[in-house]
């Protein structure tokens, strides 16, 4: 969408809102040259040992919250560090297999 401003809702907001906001899949497609794409990622995260807070939503919004997505292959944890580790292992499977083989599932 030309001129679009896109905000990616992450797993932490999904957890904090009880599923009212749903995490989106990262699905960026880089444009072909000579077109440009400007991307300014910003991450503001808690300490690894902190539990994620729950946001108290107004009643009308809370009624629409469907709960946090239940996906055994991609669980959303209450402890921030567990989510961070899960994301790192998923984003860098080659490094995880070398240095943290005990944490990654072996291929079937």
Mean pLDDT of 29-48: 83
Q: Are 104 and 97 in contact (CB under 8 A)?
A: yes
Q: What percent of the chain has pLDDT over 90?
A: 38
Residue 79's DSSP bridge partners are: 51
Domain positions in the chain: 1-108
Separation between Cα atoms, residue 35 and residue 40, nearest integer Å: 17
pTM of the model: 0.73
Q: What percent of the chain has pLDDT over 70?
A: 94
Mean pLDDT of 61-81: 91
Predicted pLDDT at 106: 59
Predicted pLDDT at 54: 94
φ/ψ bin of 18: left (φ > 0), alpha (ψ from -120 to 50), beta (otherwise): left
**Residues in contact with 37: Cβ distance below 8 Å, sequence separation at least 6, in sequence order:** 28, 30, 31
Residue 82 has pLDDT above 60, yes or no: yes
């Amino acid at each position: 969408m030309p001129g679009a401003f896109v905000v990616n809702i992450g797993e932490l907001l999904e957890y904090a809102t009880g599923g009212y906001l749903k995490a989106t899949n990262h699905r960026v497609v880089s444009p072909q040259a000579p077109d440009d794409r400007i991307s300014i990622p910003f991450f503001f995260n808690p300490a690894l040992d902190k539990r994620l807070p729950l946001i108290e939503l107004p009643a009308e919004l809370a009624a629409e919250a469907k709960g946090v997505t239940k996906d055994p292959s991609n669980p959303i944890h209450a402890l921030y560090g567990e989510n961070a580790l899960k994301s790192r292992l998923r984003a860098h499977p080659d490094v995880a297999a070398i240095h943290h083989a005990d944490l990654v599932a072996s291929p079937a």
